[in-house]
Amino acid sequence: MIFQRSLVWKIRKLLPKPELLALLPRRFVDTKRTNLDRFVEEGEKAQSTYLDGCITSIQNNLNRMKKIFIEKDPLLHSQGPAPLYYWFVREHGEKSGQKIRQFLVEFNLARQRNRGNAREGKQSDAELSLFDNLDRSTNDQNSLIGRYKILQKRFRKFLESSQLL
């Protein structure tokens, strides 16, 4: 229970209005302040039954997230990946929740190794380098879409390879 409150607090801190994520279209949009302000205004005009459904959906996703992320999780050390992980868990958490953490840890380790290779002038993975470049504009719609597509592709490969074992 304490962890769930902590995770909810962390998500709320990183995403000032996490309930707005449920109000967004089924696609990524910029999460810059002006857009968030517009979403708040739209949310205030929405039907309360719709908002209740959104809140339930968010709580369900946060419950899935609390099973994936740990207290003081290094995966959540900054606000950049929070909306990406929220969407990722929302799309995959129900079916593949147990494997998401392992995937994200391995994915981030691969990114670290790739950055090291690039610094040392060794061959690096272009797709991971692209992910890191996109990660510099964390609130940008195209950045969110690009990073999500890379996560999706890598997760599919991860699931396929884990099924072979």
Note the pLDDT tens digit of each residue in 68-111.
998 889 998 887 888 889 889 999 988 888 899 999 999 999 99
Burial environment of residue 23 by CB neighbours within 10 A (0 to 12, 13 to 18, 19 or more)? middle
**H/E stretch holding 39:** helix 33-45
Could you tell me what percent of the chain has a pLDDT over 90? Answer: 36
Residue 115 has pLDDT above 90, yes or no: yes
* Spatial separation of the C-alpha atoms in residues 134 and 136, rounded to whole Å: 5
Poorest-confidence range of 20-34, 62-76, 102-116, 142-156?
Answer: 20-34
For 52-72, how does the pLDDT look when each residue is reduced to its tens digit (9 = 90+)?
677 788 888 888 998 999 888
State how far Cα 72 lies from the chain centre.
16
Q: What is the pLDDT of residue 46?
A: 61
